[in-house]
Structure 1
Amino acid sequence: MTPAIFALLIFLAPLAYSPGPGNMIFAAMGARFGVAATWPASFGYHLATWGVTLAIGLGFGAATQAAPGVAQAVRIIGAGYVMWLALGLWRAGAVEDGVLRAARPMGFGGGMVLLIFNPKAYVIIALMFSQFANAPGLGVVGVATVFTLNNMLAFALWAAIGTRLARIWSRPDQAALLNRGLAAMLGAVAVWMVRA
């Protein structure tokens, strides 16, 4: 591992692993459907992550700063999407075989939409490039790849945490309480997204 990659991973650790919109959604999906069911959405999210990170690294960020209305629209649409996911979780069903089973997990396309309308991701990406745009031996593609893979690991960890919580809280009344607690957290994230 090069010093630049090590420094980038240290920089990203608190940002990637803290509770944000993506992490909370993947924890909730892990609780409802199990870790394996989160992979299609994770692949969609992270393919979009890599593409958006490349675009920002190559100058898209400067273009959106010239049109602040675009950033505001992304924030509002993203918050609405997260709130919609929170409402679905609020109404989720009971646990079967230690995993919450209700509705269907978010798929590949849903994961892509989640990233595209996640303003925290844009802020982190812009902040990352402000520090690592000229990191020796990385370049825009290297930074985008390290960022994406690290973020994918964070989502897998949060999905596993959600699955573990669902197993601990396996009785129907506990499952309903867990669903509503996770939904309330997602709702709070949606409110934060609008106000950020």
Structure 2
Amino acid sequence: MKASRNPCARAARRQAFATCWAEAEERIELGDDTALAGQILILSGHPGSGKTTTAESLARMPSVPKVHLHSDDFWGYIKAGHIDPWLPEADRQNRMIARIVADVAGLYAREGYFVVLDGVVRPWWLPHFTPTGLPTHYIVLRTSLHEAVRRCAARGGDSLSDPAVVADLHNQFTDLGRYERHALAVSARTHQQVMAAVLAALGAETHRLQD
């Protein structure tokens, strides 16, 4: 998957993104998303970035059928033998999960669903989605470290709240290399603003992965 290096094309996408963002803020309640049927959105980010809340809201918008795949659930299905995914020894398990999630997302999308996958999806996952042959968008939500730690600490229950682990995972998304253009800064933005930004990116295809 190679991102376009044409500066004119990038400028056109940025302009389209700005236009679609403004339109999305006006139509967000209308669920104007019919073109998304059969597509996949990988909504990634560090813990506390708001990806699950955003994914759930997107999946509940009316119009085309939608599926919210929460990647954490796939790790939760493993009982005996489960390894916390942030540990080095979990690499083989994590790569298996990536393949499974990509396959499931593709199956739903081929049936006409718009699939919203949320999770701590790093760039190394992305090649697993290539065999689906489906339009796939990759958006990485990014907040400040302070905001990420604060949000995770406020969750309670058995959710990840260890500040050291949160900081380490946050650091893994500070520089995405060739995928940096897929990052979306959301610090201090309201939920409505984040939704509008994501819809705008989808409409303008600014964060779509290139074949």
Taking structure 1 as the reference length, the TM-score comes to 0.29
| TM-score using structure 2 length | 0.28
Which structure carries more helix by proportion?
1
Would you tell me which structure has more strand in proportion to its own residues?
Answer: 2
